[in-house]
Amino acid sequence: MHGKISKPPKAATDLATSRGVLLLLVVMTGIAPISLYILVPALPVLAMNFGSDISIAQMTVSLYMVGIALSQLIMGPLSDRFGRRPVLLGGLALMVVASVGCIFAETLPQLIAARFFQALGGASGMVISRAIIRDVYERDRVASMISLVVAALMIGQMVSPLTGGLIETAFGWRAIFYAVTIAAIVVAVGIAIALPETRRSRAAGGGFRGDVGVLIKSRAFVGYVMCQVLASQIIFTFAGGGPYIVVTQMGRTTAEYGAWFATTGFAYLVGNLLCVRFAPRHSLEKLIWFGLALQLAGSLFNLLWSFTGWNEAPAWLFGTQMIVMVGNAFVMANSAAGAISIRPEAAGAASGAMGFLQQGIGALMSQFGAYLGGHSATTLPLTSAVLAISLLCACMMIFVVPRRDMVVSETLIERAEEEEGGMM
């Protein structure tokens, strides 16, 4: 038996209608990814200033992604044990110190190391924001709130490379880290002033090992996590192969590729906004199935266009991929909501495991997508891979996630955990 599911703290129940807290969730989620993309335009300048190859400068991005992945695995369980506020504030303090280290870095290895710790601290907001959403909102509102936060975040990520380029052009690359340091301090102050502790009280005998044991043995958790992680791999795979297809195969410019790729980000944004609208009226299982249908339809059409040769033109390739991305938004938000709702008091651990797998596997799939795009004369290998991932994602819902004929309430989750505990 795992004990009764606890209620969120009284202060946390008053946050559901607070626009200020919603804004805090957006900025704490976005501080790490925006800090990732804001430096990308300055990579050639870094390589030139430090007299290094561009591939070495690229490590300020690749190791930053490793830091994000590890942070998800570490910060989530820590927030379950010690609370959301102290772990968030500790993570942001680490980010501020590391950002100052970036400002005063004298060598590229120093900058790369500082960037790693910057991500390790900053990404605490990514994982803990999902846990806070589960603390504050009922299960049937979690997906819509995640979608709303992601939608706002997407806008920030779209403009962050432009912002980074403007800052570097006007003030130099170190000014980017001044901006990141100030932003991290502002977010930390906002959390310290406006965000109360939302972590649920621990059940007797609860702890990290117990949480992990229950989550791993839950078919629903494994299925939702794998569905969310596989859906995210569609993005990483397509993003890895897309530049080679557009620039090398189609002979277009990098600027044109950037414009076409932005359409997929816009489609993902639209999908999240639609999810916000529909989630309150439909179960998350129905919304996942809707998203899976769009993913599979778009992937299948793009594969057919590869056989006909139609998607050798960017409009066909990216136009159809936009259908995939709208569905992808539904699948990712709702499967994430399902995963972190299995054991609400362990939402941090669940969110961390999901984020770690997403980022860790994503780094590999991005390389795989780049290989498919860079070593092929057509779009067929890449579109085949996207369809295969879409099918695997659907298989998680078909064969792993238990069927539900009703909307799952807190009481039903509690009953399922007690029955599962009795069998162990």
| pLDDT score recorded for residue 293 | 97
Q: Indicate the domain borders of the chain.
A: 10-205, 209-423
User: pLDDT digits over 384-416, tens only?
Assistant: 999 999 999 999 999 999 876 434 444 434 443
Contact 355, 127 (CB under 8 A): yes
**Residue 331: pLDDT band with limits 50, 70, 90:** very high
Question: Is residue 2 predicted with pLDDT exceeding 50?
Answer: no
- pTM score: 0.73
User: pLDDT digits over 260-295, tens only?
Assistant: 877 888 898 899 889 888 887 888 889 999 999 999
> In this prediction, what percent of the chain has a pLDDT beyond 70?
86
Between 301 and 421, where is the model more confident? 301
CATH superfamily for 10-205 is MFS general substrate transporter like domains (1.20.1250.20)
Among the CATH numbers 3.90.25.10, 1.20.1250.20, 1.10.260.40, 2.40.10.10, which is that of 209-423?
Answer: 1.20.1250.20
Domain 10-205 matches domain 209-423 at the CATH topology level: yes
User: pLDDT digits over 39-97, tens only?
Assistant: 877 877 888 888 877 778 878 877 888 898 899 888 988 888 888 899 999 999 999 99
According to the 3-state scheme, what is the secondary structure of 93-162? HHHHHHHHHHHCCCCHHHHHHHHHHHHHHHCHHHHHHHHHHHHHCCHHHHHHHHHHHHHHHHHHHHHHHH
User: pLDDT digits over 344-377, tens only?
Assistant: 777 777 888 888 888 788 878 877 887 888 788 8
Question: Is residue 181 predicted with pLDDT exceeding 90?
Answer: yes
